[in-house]
Chain A
Amino acid sequence: EIHIKEPIEKEVNPHLLPGELLLCEASTVYKYIQEDGSNRGTYGKLVCTNFKIAFLDDDSTSDDNEPQFKNKIVGENDITLQCVDQIYGVYDEKKKLLTGQLRKYPEKLIIYCKDLRVFHFCLRYTKEEEVKRIVSGIVHHSQTPKLLKRLFLFSYASAAPNNTDGRNQTVMFDTLEDWRDELERTKGNVKYKAVTVNEGYRVSEKLPLYFVVPICVSEESILKYDGRGIPIWCWSCHNGAALLKMSAFPKEQDDITSQTQKAFLDGIYKTISKAPYELLKTDDLSSSLPSLQDIQTAYTRFKQLFLIDNSTDFWTTDVKWFSLLESTNWLEIIRRVLKKAIEVAECLERQHTNVLLIEESATDLCCVISTLVQVMMDSYSRTKSGFQSLIQKEWVIGGHGFLDRCNHLHKSDKEEAPVFLLLLNCVWQLVQQYPPAFEFTETYLTVLSDSLYVPIFSTFFFNSQHQKDTNTSGESLKTQSGPFRFLTVWDWSVQFDPKAQAFLNNPLYAEKPKPDKSQRKTARFKHQRQLSLPLTQAKSSTKRGFFREETDHFIKNILGKRIGKFINSSDEPPSSFREFYDSWHSKPVDYHGLLLPRIDGPEIKVWAQRYLRWIPEAQLHGGGTIATAAKILDLMEEVRSLQVKMDEEHSQAVSGDVHSVPLLRNSARLSSLFPFALLQRQSIKPALPTSTWKDLEDEDDLVKRDDEFVDLSGDMP
């Protein structure tokens, strides 16, 4: 349990977390309600702590309207320092980006958040001194470079009472045991082994403490190039084919080094090409997928479409909405990534071929693709704990540089790229295409994406396991010594009470048949995977000669002498892909088997919940998917109470293993933005487009005609 200090006096004081310090504050700040362009709002205090920026409503009596879905750590008017995207000052109606030192202080402050909230604060009625302090304080603490140890994570961990609640079902992959269990679960242990060679990080600080490699790979070869050029196991398919990843050698090399590296790789491949391994296909993701830079550029443009200042802004952009969306390229990137994941799945599933993903450091697009492939092929990854374990395996322990990619420390904009968000966006496409296949909801994905910016969990605030380990045990901080006890984001009780947590569970989830009741009680779930759709036998025989060429090609590529694109990396997928895709889609869906996303243009959608949730104009009063979801939840509750009644009639104990169902108040009138609708418009006035007209350039003569040409002037009597 987290202890949250109660304000001592009735005077508005910020709720401070353990270790949270008030840094500066300003009173009589006016916060606009983002609505119809009117200047309605409330007065209050704006404060900045070492954790968050918070607006404290002077008139905080509105507690009776407590939202049903409330974050215990970050309130509706709280912005964690890491969640701040950009800060603008308004000077004489002109917006100016605020970054470092300020000479003049603005009348209005606009804060754009990474979770897409937009706050407008008017400082006109605030004392000048306070304005100076709060504006420079906010800008300094949220926008300027920071030392790792200055993250709130550390103050919180040292001040909070020992609060880790045992272990949840998420596999953390920080022990050898976890890897061995995973190998056993996927039956990968015949050909792959977990190694301890990196204990003490003697191979590499970028690699996890424990990882899995092909059995034939020796310890020396792992040590030789600091773990580079070594295929690292991600996952094994039911047919034995495995998904592997590998970090490439740096490009610029003198001839001698490149020769030895080539020989080294040759050696590695010769060992793997022998039985019992399957054929191997390599895919250099850095050439077959968009670059991190492309991804960052696309997302920067994309999110801009949802950071709406006012109603006029909303309707102006509405006119050219589809072309605006397209010009960001974000949806196209999602499509390409999903397509790549299908290609990999096809190799594994149908061609029984191992797939080796290659990338500079194997910690960005490799994570995206390997995670997606597992979500598509392994139904365990579609349970909540399975998905969380997968994120631990591929991302957290796998060494994705969360700190740099999220630019949490504002060290270098160049390193920033929303790779993890890209993954969540892709998973969301699957979740909305196949609702019964996932144990979690889109709300789960949304709050997971929000948690990227909550620095009380260690999960997303280190670049590697090594970095976390060295900073956990590291030097003592003032009074406290010994290791920090960080929280993991997977302990959802930290952020949400049980009632709110129920919104993370999908009521449509088609649970897998549970084999036997007695087996359920075992300490950790041993998930058996079902075979995916039985497809026609692999045509591997026709591709026998393929391996050598591929290796040569691959080596050339690794050594930086790119001779053009890789096989399969062109935009037009091979016919086997299309055939695989079409044949799968022509059959009924098995929600526990292989799941392939539909990737045609109309199928790739905008994740409305995450991106539209704060925009009042986009709100459907009593509509949206929540309307049907609420009906299902109501009915489930009814069924559950009947069940209880029947158990009573049977004079049996009430069975406790039923999912808790969230109770919705007045569900018929929920906003489509639920559970995030904090800006519920109470009026039933319809939202009317203010600018609808767009020229139909090319149809001028048609436009001018009348429906039917009849001269009516003659009709007059």
Chain B
Amino acid sequence: QTLKDGTNWEQNEEIPRLPGETRVTDKDVIYMCPFNGPVKGRVYITNYRLYLRSVENDPVVILNVPLGVISRIEKMGGASSRGENSYGLDITCKDMRNLRFALKQEGHSRRDIFEVLTKYAFPQSHNLLFFAFANEEKFSENGWMVYNPMSEYRRQGLPNERWRVTFINEHYGLCDTYPSLLVVPYNATDDDLKKVAAFRSRNRIPVLSWIHPETQAVIMRCSQPLVGMSGKRNKDDERYLDIIREANGQISKLTICDARPNVNAVANKATGGGYEGEDAYPNAELFFLDIHNIHVMRESLKKLKDIVYPHVEESHWLSSLESTHWLEHIKLVLTGAIQVADKVSSGRSSVLVHCSDGWDRTAQLTSLAMLMLDSYYRTIEGFEVLVQKEWISFGHKFASRIGHGDKNHADADRSPIFLQFIDCVWQMSKQFPTAFEFNEQFLITILDHLYSCRFGTFLYNSESLREKEKVTEKTLSLWSLVNSEKSKYTNPFYTKELNRALYPVASMRHLELWVNYYIRWNPRIRQQQPNPVEQRYMELLALRDDYMRRLEELQITNNSKISNSSASSASPSQMMSQVQTHF
């Protein structure tokens, strides 16, 4: 009842608020829950979130939605609409759900809430700062310290006699979408790099992503060569690729993985792009990996949402799922990454990966191949480093792909490329449940904050822009949150295994829809939490530790010749059955 009077919600302790979060408005609404029907409640809007609490339901229905996930806000019905609950707001979210609120057709109630929401959900379109810049949270760990490019390259054993670190891009003069620090062949001068840059789309020259500790074969990334219709050649680029080929000390050819389907690579010549032709690069072997463009992926996810939200397609579930092509795309990305990893590992050949610009499909392929080859990236910190390095520092256009704070929901630049990558990681962790230090919650948390704008981690398109906006000084890193509470994101089954290549099976027989992410809003599909297998394991761990402690105590008491007087401790076999019944 106090809520209904609802003037002073700030006194209500149950409404969560982050330091730096301020209230904007609140209002009585009816939440049109697609699962439970209309829910009477009160919605509170802050500069960070939309929070709804039901007033009559038991248990209480709660919605807690960071405004960053909002993609689109529409008005439904007009002042004259009749019919119950036909007047209100329709909100489309980036995280696989829609929200619908019915409002009273009186006064300007809807206009106010619409304007407030639009303003705070799309700060970029209103010359406002992201909430990340207002966030005053404090964490015990500083996530910005997680990734230091120099120490990551050192971990890989770089620089060495064949590879050097260059600061040619220190002020982003060579390439404004690359990080300032790059690793290139020792035998290529900075001058060479400049010449190569002229022949690569957006100056994204081939640079090292990862080196195999044994074969010394490397994974390189870049953008497409500017071959064009006339089939231009560039001696510097050709020589540069040959230097890369030779740098691993093997005689094998250089493998070039063009992530695109063949036809698209050819079509790109019309706009000045293209691929490495056989004549110009006789020592290279070119493969097309058939991964589709960002538009195809966007449409695919849209179709997936259609079959899982709000209701899961009932009668032809499998063919509906197939018709979205979502898992097929996952399969292609994984297959491509396996090919890259296998070339480097067993083929002992260096691999150059590119697509058109080298910031979408390329990032997926290099990071997944690295995840397969290097067990360090399968730890929590290692994965953070991987994301910082291959995605954030190498200019995956998070701002454009996600549309942070931007009201233009139909922007053709938006695409779920990073989500697709995380899905691939999830598929791998599902196939190898003991190989990753992090759990599913870690991946879901990353995706939640990919949209939330609570942290600076995924804001802006490139390192140079982030530097300009002083992101590391003015915002917090997502990894601060994660690393301060690591146990929450730790997989108890994790078994450390060094230098073991991990190849998932990219077969539809093993690929699954990630139900706990894509269908998590549907209470009917929700998986058991906590996972009973995990819970059982944790109990056994606790039991083991308890036994070890008690055994130690026993041995001490027995040693001091006080024979068996500790009647207090129950027989261990009784303990065992107690634990077994604990479920």
Establish whether residues B272 and A714, one from each chain, have CB atoms under 8 Å apart when the complex forms.
yes
Establish whether residues B296 and A602, one from each chain, have CB atoms under 8 Å apart when the complex forms.
no
Is A715 in the interface zone, CB < 8 Å from B? yes
Establish whether residues B537 and A510, one from each chain, have CB atoms under 8 Å apart when the complex forms.
no
Contact bitstring A508-519, B, C-beta under 8 A = 1, else 0: 111111100000
Contact bitstring B495-528, A, C-beta under 8 A = 1, else 0: 1010011111111111001010001000111101
Q: 8 extra interchain contacts, Cβ-Cβ under 8 A, other than A601-B317, A642-B572, A707-B356?
A: A323-B319, A608-B509, A612-B509, A627-B434, A652-B571, A706-B271, A706-B273, A715-B272
Say yes or no: A710-B507 contact (C-beta < 8 A), given A323-B322, A646-B547: no
Is B77 in the interface zone, CB < 8 Å from A? no
Expressed in whole angstroms, the Cα–Cα distance for A508 and B531 within the complex equals 12
Contacts of B528 in A (CB 8 A): 434, 589
Establish whether residues B319 and A326, one from each chain, have CB atoms under 8 Å apart when the complex forms.
yes
B177 to chain A, nearest CB (A): 12
Contacts of B116 in A (CB 8 A): none
Establish whether residues A655 and B573, one from each chain, have CB atoms under 8 Å apart when the complex forms.
yes
23 pairs across A/B with beta carbons < 8 Å? A321-B322, A322-B327, A326-B317, A326-B318, A434-B528, A602-B519, A602-B525, A620-B510, A631-B434, A635-B540, A639-B540, A696-B292, A696-B325, A699-B296, A702-B296, A703-B296, A706-B264, A706-B273, A707-B356, A712-B228, A713-B228, A715-B226, A716-B198
Interface residues on B, range: 35 or more
Is A294 in the interface zone, CB < 8 Å from B? no
Q: Name the contact of A508 in the complex, choosing from B292, B495, B532, B544 (C-beta under 8 A).
A: B532
A593 to chain B, nearest CB (A): 12
Establish whether residues B573 and A657, one from each chain, have CB atoms under 8 Å apart when the complex forms.
yes
Choose the segment among A140-148, A197-205, A444-452, A685-693 that binds chain B (4+ C-beta atoms closer than 8 Å): A685-693
Is B294 in the interface zone, CB < 8 Å from A? yes
Is A632 in the interface zone, CB < 8 Å from B? yes
Expressed in whole angstroms, the Cα–Cα distance for A582 and B229 within the complex equals 61
Contacts of A331 in B (CB 8 A): 318
Q: Name the contact of B536 in the complex, choosing from A620, A632, A655, A708 (C-beta under 8 A).
A: A632
A677 to chain B, nearest CB (A): 14
Is B357 in the interface zone, CB < 8 Å from A? yes
Establish whether residues A668 and B434, one from each chain, have CB atoms under 8 Å apart when the complex forms.
yes
Is A619 in the interface zone, CB < 8 Å from B? yes
From A645, which residue of chain B is reached at the shortest CB distance? B551
Contact bitstring B521-554, A, C-beta under 8 A = 1, else 0: 0011110100011001100110110011011001
- Most B C-beta atoms less than 10 A away, residue of A315, A612, A687, A717: A687
Establish whether residues B523 and A585, one from each chain, have CB atoms under 8 Å apart when the complex forms.
yes
B370 to chain A, nearest CB (A): 15
Expressed in whole angstroms, the Cα–Cα distance for A434 and B523 within the complex equals 17
Establish whether residues B503 and A686, one from each chain, have CB atoms under 8 Å apart when the complex forms.
yes
Say yes or no: A325-B432 contact (C-beta < 8 A), given A508-B536, A642-B551: no
Expressed in whole angstroms, the Cα–Cα distance for A704 and B201 within the complex equals 19
Expressed in whole angstroms, the Cα–Cα distance for A232 and B320 within the complex equals 43
Establish whether residues A685 and B342, one from each chain, have CB atoms under 8 Å apart when the complex forms.
yes
Expressed in whole angstroms, the Cα–Cα distance for A636 and B540 within the complex equals 7
Expressed in whole angstroms, the Cα–Cα distance for A608 and B318 within the complex equals 16
Establish whether residues A686 and B532, one from each chain, have CB atoms under 8 Å apart when the complex forms.
no
Contact bitstring A444-463, B, C-beta under 8 A = 1, else 0: 00000000000000000000
Q: Name the contact of B548 in the complex, choosing from A318, A608, A619, A642 (C-beta under 8 A).
A: A642
Is B11 in the interface zone, CB < 8 Å from A? no
Expressed in whole angstroms, the Cα–Cα distance for A714 and B229 within the complex equals 12
Contacts of A321 in B (CB 8 A): 322, 507-509
B94 to chain A, nearest CB (A): 19
Is B3 in the interface zone, CB < 8 Å from A? no
Contacts of B335 in A (CB 8 A): 688-689, 692
Contacts of A318 in B (CB 8 A): 507-509
Establish whether residues B267 and A706, one from each chain, have CB atoms under 8 Å apart when the complex forms.
yes
Establish whether residues A705 and B433, one from each chain, have CB atoms under 8 Å apart when the complex forms.
no
Expressed in whole angstroms, the Cα–Cα distance for A103 and B434 within the complex equals 55
Contacts of A326 in B (CB 8 A): 316-319
Expressed in whole angstroms, the Cα–Cα distance for A646 and B342 within the complex equals 49
Establish whether residues A323 and B318, one from each chain, have CB atoms under 8 Å apart when the complex forms.
yes
Establish whether residues B433 and A628, one from each chain, have CB atoms under 8 Å apart when the complex forms.
yes
Say yes or no: A689-B294 contact (C-beta < 8 A), given A638-B544, A639-B540: no
Say yes or no: A647-B572 contact (C-beta < 8 A), given A325-B318, A631-B493, A692-B332: yes
Contact bitstring B307-325, A, C-beta under 8 A = 1, else 0: 0000011101111111001
Expressed in whole angstroms, the Cα–Cα distance for A642 and B545 within the complex equals 10
Is B285 in the interface zone, CB < 8 Å from A? no
Establish whether residues B581 and A639, one from each chain, have CB atoms under 8 Å apart when the complex forms.
no
